[in-house]
Amino acid sequence: MKHQNLPKSLKKIAGFAGAIGATTLISFPAWSHLDSNSAVANANQNRQLAETVKTANQPARIAATKDIVATASGDPQFKTLTKALTAAGLVTTLQGKGPFTVFAPTDAAFAALPKGTLDDLLKPANKAKLTKILTYHVVPGSVVSTSLKSGDVKSVEGSPLKVTVTGGKVKVGAANVVKADVKASNGVIHVIDQVLLPPDAAK
């Protein structure tokens, strides 16, 4: 817009103000970098949020990738079971693809065996007997608690396990399932309070 109708003095002021306005918009840092700074700030916030979500989800991903042996060895109530699996040479087997369902006795369950029984089973000379007992605690496939029904299921050892489901509680043989559905990458663990002995365990 031209300033033809303005006094000469006002024309100078108007022209000067227009020049200042244009120069300010072009060269003043706060204006020239506002959009780029906002974009960088938003990108940083998005990246930080992504890292927070990633960190929060990381434990779950790690837990899901642990096999049955790693899951058991990481739980302080399975020290004896882990030791027994090693003595029986079953670690590699239970680290395999599977899937497996393991009825896992706690340390307290092993401690409840008659005095001297566990020490005797852990001797190299009794490896076959120990293997027989431990594989009696394993069922092929990944069977979660909601799929367990009363009846017999065949163990990896070959003998049947009697499962009893009543009132929302599960028993395997004489043992109670005290914690169900401990997930592993190659199966599931159900924690039991007694050691299961196959019918011909004395052989």
Which tens digit of pLDDT belongs to each residue from 118-167? 999 999 999 999 999 999 999 999 999 989 999 999 999 999 999 999 98
Look up residue 63 and give its two tokens.
């837990």
Signed CA dihedral, 47, 48, 50, 54: sign only? positive
pLDDT of residue 137: 97
Nearest to 196 by CA among 125, 101, 98: 101
pTM recorded for the entire structure: 0.68
Cα–Cα distance between 73 and 80 in angstroms, integer? 9
- Mean pLDDT, residues 169-184 taken together: 95
Rounded to whole angstroms, how far apart are CA atoms 172 and 168?
Answer: 13
Q: For the sheet containing 160-166, what is the strand order?
A: 138-140, 100-105, 187-192, 175-184, 169-172, 160-166, 151-154
* 161 Cβ contact list (under 8 Å, min separation 6): 103, 136, 139, 152, 153, 154, 155, 172, 173, 196
> Is it the case that residue 1 has pLDDT exceeding 90?
no
